[in-house]
Chains A and B, each alone.
Chain A
Amino acid sequence: MSVPHARGFLLLRRGGGLWGIANAAVDGLARHGVDYRITIGGNGGGDLVADEILGVVEDLRVWPLAPAVSRFWPEAAAGLALHGREPVVVVDPGRPPAALSAEGSEEGDRPDDEERE
């Protein structure tokens, strides 16, 4: 079973995992030293952090998060998807997971010029 197709996701890697954020929710993307900061709407102005930006995929089939996952992973998510054969956690922009939080990151003080609005 899947929810209706959603279009346009920013794919990023963080903590060894692959994450997707609806492109429409992304307000900005900037490089900070060795990592990236992503500003998204709906998270109270807090930035997210990524180790690597893979790019934007236009089409991503999203499966709902299974109850058995929620039992062992105390985070919210919009669902799960696949990019190639690699699983993707699709982020709920209003409730991003702690693993993507920029708070406490050591790499926030060296912004580069590479920015998108």
Chain B
Amino acid sequence: MNAPPEAGKSRLEGTHLLVRAGEYACALPLASVRRVVRALSVHPLPGAAAELEGLAEFGGEPLPVLNLGRLVRAPAGPNPTYPVTVVVWVGPTEAREMLGLACDSALEVVHVPAGSVVAGDGGFLLGEAPVGGEVVRVLNLEALGRTG
């Protein structure tokens, strides 16, 4: 029995995890997402920039946690009802590192066609794309781990 042509195609559609950070929706490459967990307990790091919330423990290792809303300069939204930490891989494949991204919520897995992304800065903010009637920030997590 042959599977309908659309069946295989639909399995490939999820490319990004959509999360809420303040008033912005951000799309994280699904391949870089390791896990979504209830907001981890974070210990502040004195002297750190506001983007770095602090350090947490995850899987028996110290985990730096960044505030995604501050990273993308999102205006503050309403108080999150179910804040999460998205554990992701950042940096180039050969030197990737694990980070936590503090978000207001994880929304859904979505398909973001590469051709739909426009107006990025070529770095961490890959660009913006329309998803489900909303413009979302599409992020390049590989760039986040680069030095310099």
Contacts and interface: CB of A to CB of B under 8 A. Distances in A.
Given A69-B45, A87-B54, 14 more contacts: A15-B46, A17-B43, A66-B64, A66-B97, A67-B97, A68-B64, A72-B49, A73-B47, A73-B48, A73-B49, A80-B62, A82-B61, A87-B43, A87-B63
B56 interface: yes
Given A85-B57, A86-B57, A69 B64 contact: yes
Given A80-B55, A87-B43, A87-B55, A72 B48 contact: yes
Interface residues of A, number: 27
B34 interface: no
Interface in B30-63: 43-49, 51-52, 54-57, 60-63
Interface of B: 43-49, 51-52, 54-57, 60-64, 66, 90-91, 97, 99, 144-147
Interface SS majority for chain A = mixed
Interface in A43-72: 63, 66-72
Interface of A: 14-18, 63, 66-75, 80-82, 85-89, 97-99
Contact of A68 (B45, B47, B60, B144): B144
A68 B62 contact: no
Query: Which of A67, A74, A82 has most B Cβ within 10 Å?
Result: A67
A14 B43 CA distance: 12
Query: Which of B46, B47, B91, B144 has most A Cβ within 10 Å?
Result: B46
